[in-house]
């Protein structure tokens, strides 16, 4: 029996358990550093499978590591389970209908991500028991990928220092390998404090914190012309100081997310944004303080691991989709714009894009393409600076579905998503086992990783004064 068939059988034997786990996490969407139920579901599932679980790692209340085996090689399987705010949605519907108005929802499919990674770790464990394969498989329970960057705290704490390779995946609309460059990022909250006053009777006595926020935003908008083209700067005003126009607002705050291709570029761009904030405070006679929110390093690709993972993706193959799957995907597709669909297919070669543009579900695997640069970010980047890392993507949503939408939440607990999740678990497990059984793969991947870093060593972008995540500190 070949490896892919054996691993597929091992995962299919536990299919119901894995799907139930994913759906339980989907049903309790928890945002960054508040994933108490979700992380415990995964911890207990790992313990039931014979893993030794260490909770609260790296100062993260919802971070954990589940380990099985001992000695080298050591393979890390990365799992996520955080949700997003404002994306509550009932499952299996092709129209917007929130479970809780304004509530959270798994709009990036992390309920699937953590459970699919769990499937892979368990399959590797079962294979080791059956065959006597030596080594260690670790499931890293990584909180706060969407905001807060749990993996960055884990990497800073040295939790990946002895690992030989790290593997993960992400739910998507198309099955492929994610051998890409991403942007490094840095997020911080700028808090301004002034003095309240009656805006009509004594405005001269007030110092408006809201004015400071607005001036900062104007200044940063003028900065956009003078930064590298690939950089991105986003902001959200999270405190306007009140709702009464006849009061000079004594406090206000704005959260900034700054991105650039390299970590040093992010650091330099942040300093410029910080100086603009100081200038806004000076102009308004207010004071300003900064709170660190999160950070992520740029992702380091690895063609060696990408090729091994792609071989296993094609060997495992795509799931079979029945008429119910196709009809539901067609309904979801009807809620999307042509721009959504075009953007989803834009990175593919013309031949593959032409085939998929008329499909509701992507049931073909595109050729392994060249490395591309993405404008997004992920804290998997921090892991990739410490150890050779690779991710795959599988079909969990209808073609054209943008992430961070109610359509993703609706599809996240359906048969299409479950099939993609199980497929990902099989691909990850096969890739890990092939590397564990062939030291040459690990050595070649590490050699390429060192060459790409060009002698630069990992340095966390988390300020040294920050000992634990902001949200955890407030609990």
- Residue 261 is part of a domain; what is its CATH number? 3.30.70.360
Question: Cβ distance 128 to 137 under 8 Å?
Answer: yes
Domain hosting 271: range is 184-296
For residues 273 and 412, membership in a common domain is answered with no
Q: Is there a domain that residue 195 lies in? A: yes
Domain stop point among 261, 296, 331: 296
CATH number for 172: 3.40.630.10
Same domain, 94 and 8: yes
Give tens-digit pLDDT for 390-431.
Answer: 999 999 999 999 999 999 999 999 999 999 999 999 999 999
Same domain, 193 and 172: no
- Among 296, 327, 356, identify where a domain stops: 296
3-state helix, strand, coil in the chain (%, to 5): 45, 20, 35
What is the CB neighbour count within 10 angstroms for residue 252? 25
Q: What are phi and psi of 283, to 5 degrees?
A: -65, -25
Predicted structure pTM score? 0.93
Confidence of residue 475 (pLDDT cuts 50, 70, 90): very low
Q: Are residues 332 and 370 in the same domain?
A: yes
In a domain, 438, yes or no: yes
Residue 254 lies in a domain: yes
215 and 255 together in one domain = yes
Contacts of 402 by beta carbon, 8 Å cutoff, 6+ apart: 336, 340, 343, 344, 408
Tell me the per-residue pLDDT of 291-323, one tens digit each, with 9 for 90 and over. 999 899 999 999 999 999 999 999 999 999 999
> 163 and 198, same structural domain?
no
Structure-token pair, residue 204: 């001269």
Q: Are residues 275 and 175 in the same domain?
A: no
The radius of gyration of the chain's CA atoms, rounded to the nearest angstrom, is 23
Same domain, yes or no: 153 and 11? yes
Residues 361 and 440 in one domain: yes
pLDDT digits (tens, 9 = 90+) for 207-264: 999 999 999 999 999 999 999 999 999 999 999 999 999 999 999 999 999 999 999 9
**Co-location of 92 and 141 in the same domain:** yes
109 and 11 within one domain:
yes
Query: Is the distance from CB of 69 to CB of 128 less than 8 angstroms?
Result: yes
Sheet holding 64-70, edge to edge: 52-55, 64-70, 135-142, 74-80, 165-172, 389-395, 176-177
Does 120 lie in the same domain as 33? yes
**Which among 399, 404, 386, 277 has a CA at the least distance from the CA of 331?**
399
**How many domains, the chain?**
2
């Amino acid at each position: 029996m070949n490896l892919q068939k054996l691993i597929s059988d091992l995962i299919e034997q536990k299919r119901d358990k894995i799907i139930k786990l994913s759906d339980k996490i989907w049903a309790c969407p928890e945002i960054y550093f508040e994933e108490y139920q979700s992380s415990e579901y995964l911890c207990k599932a790992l313990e039931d499978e014979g893993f030794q679980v260490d909770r609260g790692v790296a100062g993260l209340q919802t971070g954990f590591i589940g380990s099985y085996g001992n000695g080298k090689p050591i393979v890390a399987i990365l799992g996520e389970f955080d949700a997003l705010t404002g994306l509550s949605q009932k499952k299996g519907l092709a129209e917007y209908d929130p479970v809780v108005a304004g509530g959270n929802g798994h709009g990036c499919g992390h309920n699937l991500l953590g459970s699919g990674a769990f499937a892979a770790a368990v399959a590797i464990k079962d294979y080791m028991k059956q065959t006597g394969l030596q080594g260690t498989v670790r499931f890293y329970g990584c909180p706060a990928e969407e905001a807060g960057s749990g993996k960055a705290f884990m990497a800073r704490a040295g939790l990946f220092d002895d690992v030989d390779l790290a593997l993960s995946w992400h739910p998507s609309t198309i099955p492929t390998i994610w051998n890409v460059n991403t942007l490094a990022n840095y997020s911080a909250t700028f808090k301004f404090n002034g003095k309240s006053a009656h805006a009509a009777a004594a405005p001269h006595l007030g110092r408006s914190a809201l004015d400071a926020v607005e001036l900062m935003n104007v200044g940063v908008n003028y900065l956009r012309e003078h930064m590298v083209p690939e950089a991105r700067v986003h902001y959200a005003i999270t405190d306007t100081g009140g709702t009464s126009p006849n009061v000079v607002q004594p406090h206000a705050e704005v959260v900034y997310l700054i991105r650039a291709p390299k970590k040093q570029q992010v650091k330099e761009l942040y300093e410029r944004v910080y100086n603009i904030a100081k200038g806004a405070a000076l102009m308004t006679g207010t004071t300003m303080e900064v709170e660190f929110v999160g950070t992520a390093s740029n992702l380091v690709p690895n063609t060696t691991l990408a090729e091994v993972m792609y071989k296993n993706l094609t060997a495992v193959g795509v799931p079979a989709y029945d008429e119910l799957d196709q009809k539901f995907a067609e309904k979801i597709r009807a809620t999307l714009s042509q721009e959504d669909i075009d953007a989803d297919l834009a990175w593919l070669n013309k031949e593959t894009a032409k085939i998929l543009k008329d499909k509701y579900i992507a049931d073909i695997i595109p050729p392994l393409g060249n490395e591309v640069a993405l404008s997004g970010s992920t804290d998997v980047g921090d892991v990739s600076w410490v150890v050779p890392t690779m991710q795959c993507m599988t079909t969990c949503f209808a073609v054209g579905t943008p992430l961070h939408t109610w359509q993703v939440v609706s599809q996240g607990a359906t048969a299409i998503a479950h099939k993609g999740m199980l497929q990902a678990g099989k691909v990850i497990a096969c890739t890990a086992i092939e590397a564990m059984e062939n030291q040459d793969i690990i050595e070649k991947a590490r050699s390429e990783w060192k060459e790409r870093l060009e002698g630069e060593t990992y340095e966390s972008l988390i300020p040294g004064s920050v000992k634990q995540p902001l949200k955890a500190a407030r609990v």
